[in-house]
Amino acid sequence: MPDVRSRTPTLWVALGIVYVVWGSTYLAIRVAVRTMPPFLMASIRFLLAGGMLYVFAIRRGDREGDRPGWPQWRATAIVGTFLFLGGNGLVVWAEQRVSSGIAALLIASVPLWIALIGFVFMRERMPKIAVAGVIVGFGGAALLVKPSGSQHVDLLGALALVGASFLWAIGTLYATRAPLPKRSLVSAAMQLLCGGVATGIVGIAAGELSRFHPSKFSGESILAVAYLVVVGAIVAFPAYSWLVQNAPPTIVSTYAYVNPVIAVFLGWVILGEHIGVNTVIAGAVICVAVAMIVTARARPVGEPAAAPPVEEEALSAEAG
């Protein structure tokens, strides 16, 4: 791991990009699905971003030693389907029914699922503070979706977001063991392309073609998709890739509990989304739980990240 102190200005710029941009993708998704069918919109976003990244990255780095073949395409197809169809696709669908802030807070539970799945199915060690974090985190999620006064979170939308978090966690854990391309940008581009194809197939199967009328797309929705492609993927992802290679994992992972705060704030300021006391308390509980798990599972400085960098929403669960 390079000396972080010598790269502090660049580190803070990269962190700022990941914090703000990935936190804002939930807002952009909410605007996009106002006039666009969700799965086809997401498919277009993934295919455009993946295509541009692939063209840029495939000719760079170790082209001979890291030539993608069938095993790499198969692995990226599996990861891409879990992350971008299951994870981000469900987020896009759910944001037709829930606010962008609520979506971001529920997707913040991804580290909880990663810790739980790793412990149950992969026999990974879970420190006591991580166990407490899982319990606290799911308690916060339950509090978030529980009706309180005038606040009501759509149950179907909330369940879709929980499912998105779960599927994103599965895809992330599989990615730690899959034969993915060694070049992170090539791997990400292939995952986006495969996820875009899978999401498009689901959109067509769901009958979204009958609602896909470009003449009815609002200017705001089109700009939102452009933002998701260019800023959310092309700008933010390289910043994240640089952080993974040049900063301690404990610093990089802070985006997991900063992004929801950014998303809630932007939803309130720009879209006028209601923020009740219940949302504030539940959101704080979830963020604290994520911080507990991230801290407990942090590896020593210099140890490589477990999984290749992937967007979330994201391309946060784009998971944003």
- The pLDDT assigned to 305 comes to 36
pLDDT at position 173 is 86
313 within some domain: no
pLDDT at 307 > cutoff 80: no
Residue 169 has pLDDT above 80, yes or no: yes
Instruction: Please state, in angstroms and rounded to a whole number, the distance separating the CA atoms of residues 189 and 65.
Output: 18
Nearest to 295 by CA among 250, 251, 256: 250
Q: Which domain holds residue 194?
A: 4-297
226-239: pLDDT as tens digits = 999 999 888 887 78
pLDDT at 154: 84
CA-to-CA separations, 217 to 45, 197, 272, in angstroms, rounded? 15, 22, 22
Residue 120 lies inside a defined structural domain of this protein: yes
Tell me, yes or no, whether 202 lies in a domain.
Answer: yes
Residue 287 lies in a domain: yes
Is 277 part of a structural domain of the chain?
Answer: yes
In a domain, 317, yes or no: no
pLDDT of residue 303 exceeding 50: no
Rounded CA-CA distance 178/180 in Å is: 6
Q: What total number of domains does the chain contain?
A: 1
pLDDT digits (tens, 9 = 90+) for 97-133: 998 888 888 888 888 888 888 888 877 787 888 888 8
Q: Of the segments 103-112, 154-163, 193-202, 291-300, which one has the largest average pLDDT value?
A: 193-202
Considering the domain boundaries, does residue 44 fall inside one? yes
Q: Which of 47-61, 220-234, 235-249, 280-294 has the lowest mean pLDDT?
A: 235-249
Pick the more confident residue, 38 or 15.
38
pLDDT-based confidence at 298, cuts 50/70/90? low
Has residue 137 been placed in a domain? yes
